[in-house]
Structure 1
């Protein structure tokens, strides 16, 4: 059995950085993810006047409940969706003028529902180019609060950003959601907010957030469940192989750990304990139809091993994957077809038929870290696979190729 130490969760690290910046006192984050996305978030906080001190295994953030220390700032969000959505929301509770921009890839990703919600709350927010996209300016003068309606059908990050804003408002927030994707990510948000002292209640699709502020604390970051999916998939694929990821077990916050339940349905042996999760190959992968709306970041992982199943693999209700770092549905279909696999797609689904992938072939990554890491698993049974941009894994796991190669070559 191989034991793999997975880097910290990107989702948890980003939320913890927001909450720490907003809290009264100094927060210490233990084992945060160190990657392009999280470093970009921390850099953005520094540009806004928050004190962030980084050590090898801990980051210390001095909170500013009243808002950024800088009256004006230019923040470059890189490729990070959490940075690009969370930081403009954070500064709205302060006072000053702040300009945000992002990479061409991030500029293409939608921001509109969040922008509309912030404007409903009285935030002076102006887009510098295409409405509902970066760049944008926020002329902040605090947020009174109140009630609003939100469509979070494209991204749960819109709801997360507003929920985390709630305790910083003068009167609190009531948020009614008309549509919601990736709901487990919202559960992460609620659990973390409460651990920093927030009071949140939920009645149906309405969330009520009290204006409590936040309290600083020491907070440990659990391993990234989405990143773990590549190692779990590899273990399920290769006969005789098994992998254990410690620190990601029954108490894990992240819904993407549910990917192992999909592997179990396909025939893998899965064990989840308080200490971690183990996946073992049984030598069989069965085809299935699965709704992945709540764990859509692992859709490419499943697509990458689907050709090796004994029947078709149909993945449904993943329309939101079309507005990620790239159109992941089309990217998966394109690359599987390059490998000679029969694939069908629809607006929110992909169906992959069994087949033997052919090589050599270059995978079109579209600058998406998850496409690279997913098809690295396909490459276990497909000699000659290469990537047009292997380095884009720096977004969430800069050391992925070395760690995965070591895992593959461990007896």
Structure 2
């Protein structure tokens, strides 16, 4: 039975870095993810004057509740959405002038709901080129707090950024959301804030965060559930078995819910106290599933959908169009290149079972998106001749993915 050690969660690592930087004292992060995104986040903190000490298995961060240690900085956020959205919010709590820019890919991704909310809270923030996009400059003078309304229908990261900011404001914060996607990611944020000494209250569509700051702690980062989805899917499509330790009943990440989709399709799933096992049964049924709350695993399901006995329809995933690429169309395009029939709508994709003589091998267009490559690597377990135009883009979240997945292929 293959046991796969998945690297630490990107989402948890990014939040932990923010919390550690904002906390009073020195925080130790155990087994954080080391990837392009998280290294970029840590580098951004260093540019802002925070001390980040790194060993192979732990990172130590000297917190500064008063904000960045330098009066001005120029921060490059690379491709990281959490870096690009969280660090300007953290900087707003300090005092100084801080400029943020990002890669061309990240420059295309939207920021306006978050930056509009920050402006509503009195933050002096200026988009230098296109409104609602990087680059931007924050002229920080602390944040008083108060009440703000937010549309988080494109990304829950907007809400997370404001919640993380709340304890650093002078009066606390009440955020009322008019729309919200990927709710489990907000629940991750609230649980992690609790671990750093802050309790968030939810009142209907409002989230209430008290002032008072965070306290430093030692925090263990759990394995990345989105990344685990590729290995669980591999078991389901090959009839093999995969166990991922560190992800079980108490897991923070909602993307572990992907195994419930596999269960509905016919896989045998066991979620234990501290591990999850998926075993392929030789059967994959068609399914219609709403993936609004676990949309990062939409490409994983799309990539194995041709092997189901009936159509696979994935609904309510409009937000996947504003990720690293338009993931809905990227999946559709690559499935068609494989010879699979696909239809799409504004927020859905439907994949038909593969023909008797297909799918056929092809080069997958990655669009620079790590999740597209990792998802279609699973397809390649059943389809000879699958290759990628940019296999290295997996470094964003899992630099060793191809080696680990190749080893799993051999064991399965």
Instruction: Report what 1:401 is aligned to.
Output: 402
The alpha carbon displacement at 1:360 in A equals 3.0
What SS does the corresponding residue of 1:185 show, helix, strand or coil? helix
In the alignment, the residues of structure 2 paired with residue 157 and residue 335 of structure 1 have an alpha-carbon distance, to the nearest angstrom, of 28
Q: Say if 2:173 is the partner of 1:173.
A: yes
Structure 2: state its 5+ residue gaps: none
Deviation digits for residues 165-194 of structure 1 (CA, Å, limit 9, x no counterpart): 000000000000000000000000000001
Residue of structure 2 in register with 1:285 after alignment: 284
Counterpart of 1:202 in structure 2 is 202
SS of 1:311 mapped into structure 2: coil
Distance in 1, matches of 2:99 and 2:276, equals 43
> What is the CA–CA distance in structure 2 between the aligned matches of 1:200 and 1:13, rounded to whole Å?
20
2: distance between equivalents of 1:155 and 1:255? 15
**SS in structure 1 opposite 2:380?**
helix
Give the Cα–Cα distance (whole angstroms) in 2 for the partners of residues 360 and 243 of structure 1. Answer: 25
Q: Which residue of 1 aligns with 2:120?
A: 120
Taking structure 1 as the reference length, the TM-score comes to 0.99
Where does residue 95 of structure 1 map in the other structure? Answer: 95
Aligned to 1:390: 391
Aligned to 2:250: 251
Partner of 1:381, secondary structure, is coil
Answer whether contact 2:47 2:75 (CA < 8 A) is retained: yes
Alpha carbons 1:197, 1:212 under 8 Å: kept: no
Q: Is the 8 A contact 1:27 1:61 kept in 2?
A: yes
Counterpart CA distance in 1 for 2:295 and 2:411 is 29
Partner of 1:368: 369
CA distance in 2, matches of 1:138, 1:328: 31
**Whole-angstrom distance in 1 between the partners of 2:121 and 2:255:** 32
**How far did 1:212 drift?**
1.8
Verify the 8 A CA contact 2:5 2:244 in the aligned structure 1.
Answer: yes
Task: Please provide the CA RMSD for this pair.
Answer: 0.6
Please tell me whether residue 306 in structure 1 is matched to residue 301 in structure 2. Answer: no
3-state DSSP of counterpart to 1:404: helix
Single out whichever of 124-133 and 351-360 deviates more from structure 2: 351-360
Q: Aligned residue for 1:348?
A: 347
2:337 is matched with 338
SS of 1:147's partner is strand
1:252-267 alignment, distance < 5 Å: 252-267=251-266
Partner SS for 1:380: coil
Deviations 1:175-218 (A, max 9, x none): 00000000000000000001101121001110000002000000
Contact 1:269 1:279 in 2 (8 A): yes
Q: Deviations over 1:238-282 (max 9, x none)?
A: 12x100000000000000000000000000000001120000011
Which residue number corresponds to residue 29 of structure 2? 29
**In the alignment, is the contact (CA less than 8 A) between 1:199 and 1:212 conserved in 2?**
no
CA contact (8 A) 2:259 2:278 kept: yes
- Structure 1 unaligned spans of 5+: none
Contact kept in structure 2, 1:126 and 1:136, CA below 8 Å: yes
| Distance of 1:374 and 1:360 partners within structure 2 | 15
Name 2:379's counterpart in structure 1: 378
Q: 1:82 matched to which residue of 2?
A: 82
Q: Is the 8 A contact 1:102 1:134 kept in 2?
A: yes
TM-score by length of 2: 0.99
